[in-house]
Structure 1
Amino acid sequence: MTDSPCPCGTGKPFDRCCGLYLSGKAYPQSAEALMRSRYTAYVMGNLPYLRQTWHPDTRPELSAEDLNTEWTRLEVVRSKQGLKRSVVEFRAWFRDGDSERALHEISLFKLHKKRWVYVEPLSEWP
């Protein structure tokens, strides 16, 4: 998959985009980059990465069954980067039978041990 476009939608090759994060060679330096890499982890079924990038206070038990969705594309609606807390609004499109549907979420990210982690969905844009 190294020469293929990254599933996160940046248009960059996977190995120069989210592949760096999923392989452990680098860690995302912004909440948006983390969110994009988490989407890619869902696409590729990378449970260890999803666990690692989820805040320990809100992280659920995850299993392979949580990865049964066929994700098709990602759209970042807007992103607000802060120093210790950031918010990203996105739509993650997935296959539902013969149609395509979207998960729309406003996500909260925080710095935890000097790394961005996903915390939880928000009910509205702050």
Structure 2
Amino acid sequence: MSASCYCCSGKPFSQCCEIYLSGKAYPNTAEALMRSRYSAYVTGNLPYLRKTWHPDTCPELDSNDLQTRWTRLEVIKSKQGLKKSIVEFKAWFSDEREGGAGSEERALHEISLFKLNKKRWVYVSPLDAWP
């Protein structure tokens, strides 16, 4: 049995995000896409991040964007729609303290907008608040 998935779903990685990151399947919900994108950040999968970002909002991404040490994911709530969906989450990461005195865990708290683009869910952007 493989290790638990990085997205904290409780499923083995091989039965969760790995099928998306490998290209064998594509997430059919915004929450599954968000979880797989988190796993892509953890594993350094830039091609997957580019492929799953809306072309109108995707920034130039390079390996410097993958330097954060992500530690866990907490999905707070999600609302699946027919053409757009919203997922609120906290992505926890380890942040080095000043002076090199160990690290402190912090969270990126985001409410994310996802839309269907060419019949596939893609990440669009963060929202200021839950609509």
Q: TM-score range by the shorter chain?
A: over 0.9
Q: How much has 1:69 moved relative to structure 2?
A: 0.1
**2:127 matched residue in structure 1:** 122
**1:73 matched residue in structure 2:** 72
Residue-by-residue CA offset, 1:39-95 (whole Å, 9 max, x unaligned): 000000000000000000000000000000000000000000000000000000000
Where does structure 1 differ by over 6 angstroms across 4 or more consecutive aligned residues?
none
Q: Counterparts of 1:28 and 1:82 in 2: how far apart (Å)?
A: 14
| TM-score, structure 2 as length reference | 0.94
Q: How much has 1:33 moved relative to structure 2?
A: 0.2
What is the DSSP-based 3-state SS (H/G/I as helix, E as strand, rest coil) of the residue aligned with 1:41? helix
What is the DSSP-based 3-state SS (H/G/I as helix, E as strand, rest coil) of the residue aligned with 1:39? helix
**2:100 matched residue in structure 1:** none
- State the AA in 2 paired with 1:110: K
**1:102 matched residue in structure 2:** 107
- State the AA in 2 paired with 1:6: C
**2:99 matched residue in structure 1:** none
- State the AA in 2 paired with 1:114: K
Count of residues in correspondence between the two structures: 125
Q: How much has 1:9 moved relative to structure 2?
A: 0.5
What is the DSSP-based 3-state SS (H/G/I as helix, E as strand, rest coil) of the residue aligned with 1:77? strand
* 1:12-51 matches, cutoff 5 A: 12-51=11-50
Q: Counterparts of 1:29 and 1:35 in 2: how far apart (Å)?
A: 11
Runs of at least 5 residues in structure 1 that lack an aligned partner in the other structure: none
| TM-score, structure 1 as length reference | 0.98
Over the matched positions of the two proteins, sequence identity in percent amounts to: 72
